[in-house]
Structure 1
């Protein structure tokens, strides 16, 4: 299996999980609003759960977004450059994104350990904060791998969003 296919499958799974979390958060918000309006009883901790759920959704969907080049790109100054120059700039950008996501992943995992050791919990539900931080690290780590894979392809002058047509390892 090529690296592209492996990254694509794992990123697809992460994106599906992220979509499921987003749907669950949406249903919970609707139920909480309905409970607040009809019964004067919202779901306790709905804001905490929404914050954690949306952060997890974003983390899980980032690799898929990066794999497909769906991040926002401001190409006002580079749109007239030759394709080779644009690929070089995109490769450098992918390296910078990989560095940032690697740092965020490591710091998120370290933060999870620190708040776990401190015994920090959420205000309303009393959920351990460490798990909330730790759940963000895998999506950030996978985004790092995707960006590194793309950077090496871009810097070699290849397309970063697809595998080679001959199926060679990418």
Structure 2
């Protein structure tokens, strides 16, 4: 169930990135045809691209698509490599969950201080930071779900 959620979030991130790309195309075409781009295109594209990247974190953790370096451990028994993978997956989960907590705190402070983007639209962006926190938290939880399997030597 968690892996499906991660896949759905990644798909949503892909759609957001596609929307940002389409906005860029429309803005460039308008600039070329009328001399005026879409107002605030830089702000919208930067928020969209950032969210799209964060939305893929959980899917990468769910599919174990992160970078694995096993050159020096191939000779070890499967359970030993599983224990090493579990250790580093635990470290990865801790890092993800700490970042999620810090981003959640940042989202609250951004909201409380009414911080906005620097640009034409001056958009509030606390919600984007909050979505990022949720993406990090989901990736961290998925990494924790992998731990028992890795300790058993499964991949």
Task: Say whether 1:42 aligns with 2:65.
Answer: no
Please give the TM-score of this superposition, normalised by the length of structure 2.
0.91
- Partner Cα distance (1:136, 1:110) in 2: 12
Match of 1:150 in 2: 146
- Could you report, residue by residue, the CA deviation over 1:89-112 in whole angstroms, capped at 9, with x for unpaired residues? 111111111111101111111001
Contact persistence 2:80–2:153 (CA under 8 A)? no
Q: Which runs of 5+ in 1 are unaligned?
A: 1-5, 160-170
SS at match of 1:104: helix
Matched, 1:98 2:97: no
CA–CA distance in 1 between the matches of 2:21 and 2:73? 39
Q: Can you give the 5+ residue segments of structure 2 that lack an aligned partner in the other structure?
A: none
For 2:81 and 2:26, how far apart are their aligned partners in 1?
47
TM-score where L is the length of structure 1: 0.83
Q: Of 140, 145, 149, which residue of structure 1 is paired with 2:136?
A: 140
1:85 and 1:29 mapped to 2: Cα distance?
49
Q: CA deviation at 1:58?
A: 1.6
User: Which runs of structure 2 are paired with 1:1-170 in the superposition (5 Å)?
Assistant: 6-124=1-119, 125-159=121-155
| Structure 2 counterpart of 1:168 | none
